[in-house]
């Protein structure tokens, strides 16, 4: 028996403790939604993996060495030091990404031209690859009218018109044919020039053609190119690029590597070239000065009958020539040092001090020469000019030869270690990883949805929760799959209204209602009449199912039962008995029909029904009419049991009016749908109207792995053994 209130001291689980058993039970209850959702995500992941375009990788290795002087060290340690340069890896990476290097690649490979086959969005390219019907186009040249700066990739459309001769048509944005041509031939017309190197596809295959600005093409190439240093301060740079076309990304990376190498060599030999040009431009002047000095000396010797220098004068001349040679050497060194240091640097200051010393010594010698005879003094001066110019000329010739050898031997400090090659296997997408991640995401989302739904859903799933607020549970009626099937067929108009108690009397739900019959017998012992009102907190809780089948169960015991549809707004009890709704309760209350005239017989013995009748504009006012009271009194005297099926109390006030005439009031609560608060508010609403709710019928209970303690006849099935 379930008509006794549960103890208020029932053990409650602490809210701070996570019930792992209940969580696991929730997942078991929702196993099919979880499995189906996970399977759908897995299929979605497989589809993505199969349809995704393979992305390949090509990379190359470049070594940036510390610049050594090479041959120049054998010629001139000073020159070798001047042209030796060291660049950090970061600097070299920025140089590779510069427009100077990438711009040459864009120009050489025609990357300002966009050409790609036209496929269905999202899945077209993948389907074409899987079916082996991929198209390919290689455009060598695309030029447009001068006033057009660039075209996007949807401005022009190339249509293949013949796969034998590989002919094509070029359409503009409006679909007009602006150009026709063949592969391997330059097509011109209407301001367009188009040269197609290769075309692979079926007749009718369309291709998008477009033109982007050079700066945009360089920017796109820069974003696609990845450069990194292997290790720390190794000077080994790795250039890598991802793309769909293995051959194209190989060509791009190789071209970038070659352009960077060439600019590095050019940069290393630039200063030597400038110095060489400077020296070569001054050699004629020095040679002219030397010739003039020799001619002047010879002419003076002839005029003065070959004057010879004395030992003292020769010694002075030798010292002066050496001084001039040292001064010239210091001049070269000063030009070199000035490129590397400021005048405040110790090396530069030392060079200037040495130069001042040599100039002072030359001034002293000049004063000493003034003491010689005039003839020897002139010969000494002229001879000095000749020998100094000779040394300068020879020195310049040596420098020119050194610079020529240095320029010819310049190889730069960059070496291409590995040329670009593409990996045979695609680096993206990782197909197994995509499938695994999609499966995990599907499982995680479905599990999270179940747990969040359970956390947010406060529907009653245990009779003890209802009894905790002081309402006894008279019966727990299990959910009937057969009843759901009957309702489904009726909604699709493939079946007729039929009571579960008639179609399957052994159903567990009907057995639970038989238990309710026993419990209700004791509950009505102190009632003022034999009228039972069945209501509920909210719609869709199964009141009509309980009322109709409970009336049928009582009628089968031999008692005469009258079932009244008290919901004049949306009542549908007539459907269960294949009756019409007209000539019902609303007609009785409006005085159109008498009590005997509204009672309709059913195909269930001892069971009569009063339908709702025509939907009135004022159901509550009709229920307040004395005719309703007289009808209840008449029904109570003519039947053993009167059952009133009413609308939900929280929706309308009709149950409060009807309940005043009923001796017993029961509420129907649905498993997992009605909350404890909702049931409690409904009870308070009845109590405010002076109506005592005897108890609750817990409808549509389900067996949950989460551990609800529903009780009744749910876990047992007892049928006859047919042999």
The DSSP annotation for 198-227 comes to EEE--TT-EEEEEE--HHHHHHHHHHHEEE
- Tell if the pTM clears 0.85, that is, is over it: no
In DSSP terms, 115 is beta-bridged to 209
Cα–Cα distance measured from residue 51 to residue 231, given in angstroms and rounded to the nearest whole number: 37
Does the pLDDT at position 219 exceed 90? yes
Q: 328 in helix, strand or coil?
A: helix
Cα–Cα distance measured from residue 43 to residue 49, given in angstroms and rounded to the nearest whole number: 10
Residue with the bigger pLDDT between 482 and 76: it is 482
Strands of the sheet containing 151-162, edge to edge, are 113-117, 206-211, 151-162, 167-171, 177-182
pLDDT score of 406: 63
- Asked if residue 193 lies in contact with residue 187, where contact means CB atoms within 8 angstroms, the answer is yes
Query: Dihedral sign, CA of 242, 243, 246, 247?
Result: negative
Cα–Cα distance measured from residue 62 to residue 238, given in angstroms and rounded to the nearest whole number: 6
Percent of the chain with pLDDT over 90: 31
Does the pLDDT at position 3 exceed 60? no
What are the two backbone dihedrals, phi and then psi, of residue 32, each rounded to the nearest 5 degrees?
-70, -45
Of 82-96, 101-115, 151-165, 645-659, the one with minimum mean pLDDT is 82-96
Q: Once rounded to an integer, what is the mean pLDDT over residues 150-162? A: 74
Mean pLDDT value across the chain? 80
Provide long-range contacts, Cβ within 8 A and 24+ apart, for 278-286: 279/396, 279/399, 279/400, 279/403, 280/400, 282/396, 283/393, 283/396, 283/397, 283/400, 286/389, 286/392, 286/393, 286/396
pLDDT score of 395: 72
Cα–Cα distance measured from residue 83 to residue 67, given in angstroms and rounded to the nearest whole number: 9
Does the pLDDT at position 723 exceed 50? no
Of 97-111, 190-204, 432-446, 496-510, the one with minimum mean pLDDT is 496-510
Of 197-211, 411-425, 483-497, the one with minimum mean pLDDT is 483-497
């Amino acid at each position: 028996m379930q008509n006794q209130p549960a103890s208020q001291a029932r053990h409650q689980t602490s809210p701070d403790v996570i019930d792992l058993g209940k969580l696991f039970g929730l997942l078991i209850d929702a196993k099919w939604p979880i499995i189906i959702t996970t399977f759908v995500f897995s299929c979605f992941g497989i589809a993505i993996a199969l349809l995704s375009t393979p992305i390949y990788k090509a990379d190359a290795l470049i070594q940036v060495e510390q610049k050594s002087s090479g041959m120049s060290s054998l010629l001139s340690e000073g020159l070798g030091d001047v042209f030796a340069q060291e660049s950090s890896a970061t600097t070299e990476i920025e140089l590779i990404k510069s427009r100077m290097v990438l711009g040459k690649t864009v120009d050489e490979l025609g990357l300002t031209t966009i050409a790609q086959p036209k496929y269905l969005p999202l899945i077209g390219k993948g389907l074409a690859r899987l079916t082996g019907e991929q198209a390919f186009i290689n455009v060598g040249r695309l030029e447009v009218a001068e006033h057009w700066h660039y075209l996007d990739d949807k401005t022009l459309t190339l249509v293949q018109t013949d796969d034998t001769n590989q002919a094509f048509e070029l359409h503009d944005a409006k679909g007009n044919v602006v150009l026709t041509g063949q592969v391997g031939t330059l097509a011109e017309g209407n301001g367009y020039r188009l040269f197609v190197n290769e075309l692979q596809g079926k007749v009718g295959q369309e291709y998008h053609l477009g033109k982007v600005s050079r700066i945009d093409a360089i920017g796109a190439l820069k974003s696609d190119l990845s450069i990194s240093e292997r290790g720390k301060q190794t000077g080994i740079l790795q250039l890598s690029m991802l793309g769909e076309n293995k051959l194209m990304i190989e060509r791009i990376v190789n071209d970038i590597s070659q352009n960077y190498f060439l600019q590095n060599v050019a940069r290393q030999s630039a200063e030597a070239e400038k110095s060489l040009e400077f020296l070569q431009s001054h050699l004629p002047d020095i040679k002219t000065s030397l010739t003039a000095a020799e001619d002047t000396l010879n002419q003076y010797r002839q005029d003065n009958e070959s004057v010879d220098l004395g030992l003292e004068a020769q010694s002075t001349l030798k010292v002066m020539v050496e001084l001039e040679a040292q001064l010239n050497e210091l001049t070269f060194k000063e030009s070199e040092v000035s490129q590397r240091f400021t005048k405040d640097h110790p090396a530069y200051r030392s060079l200037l001090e040495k130069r001042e010393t040599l100039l002072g010594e030359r001034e002293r010698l000049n004063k000493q020469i003034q003491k010689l005879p005039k003839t020897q003094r002139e010969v000494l001066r002229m001879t000095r000019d000749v020998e100094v110019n000779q040394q300068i000329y020879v020195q310049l010739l040596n420098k020119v030869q050194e610079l020529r050898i240095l320029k010819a031997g310049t190889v730069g400090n960059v070496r291409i270690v590995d040329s670009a090659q593409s990996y045979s296997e695609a680096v993206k997408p990782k197909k197994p990883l995509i499938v695994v991640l999609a499966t995990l995401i599907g499982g995680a989302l479905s599990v999270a949805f179940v747990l969040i739904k359970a956390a947010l859903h406060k529907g009653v799933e245990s009779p003890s929760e209802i009894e905790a607020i002081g309402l006894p549970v008279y019966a727990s009626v299990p959910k009937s799959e057969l009843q759901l099937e009957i309702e489904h067929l009726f909604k699709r108009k493939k079946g007729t209204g039929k009571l579960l108690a008639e179609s399957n009397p052994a159903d567990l739900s009907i057995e639970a209602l038989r238990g309710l019959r026993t419990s209700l017998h004791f509950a009505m012992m102190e009632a003022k009449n034999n009228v039972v009102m069945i209501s509920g907190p909210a719609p869709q809780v199964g009141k009509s199912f309980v009322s109709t089948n409970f009336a049928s169960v009582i009628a089968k015991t031999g008692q005469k039962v009258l079932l009244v549809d008290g919901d004049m707004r949306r009542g549908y009890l007539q459907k269960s008995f294949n009756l019409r709704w007209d000539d019902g309760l609303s007609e009785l209350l409006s005085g159109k029909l008498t009590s005997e005239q509204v009672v309709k017989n059913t195909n269930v013995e001892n069971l009569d029904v009063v339908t709702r009748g025509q939907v009135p504009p004022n159901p509550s006012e009709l229920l307040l009419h004395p005719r309703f009271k007289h009808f209840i009194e008449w029904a109570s005297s003519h039947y053993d049991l009167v059952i009133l099926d009413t609308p939900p109390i929280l929706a309308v006030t009709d149950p409060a009016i009807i309940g005043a005439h009923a001796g017993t009031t029961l509420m129907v609560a649905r498993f997992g749908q009605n909350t404890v608060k909702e049931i409690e508010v409904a009870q308070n609403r009845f109590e405010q109207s002076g109506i005592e709710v005897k108890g609750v019928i817990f409808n549509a209970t389900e067996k949950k792995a989460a551990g609800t303690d529903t009780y009744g006849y749910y876990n047992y099935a007892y049928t006859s053994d047919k042999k």
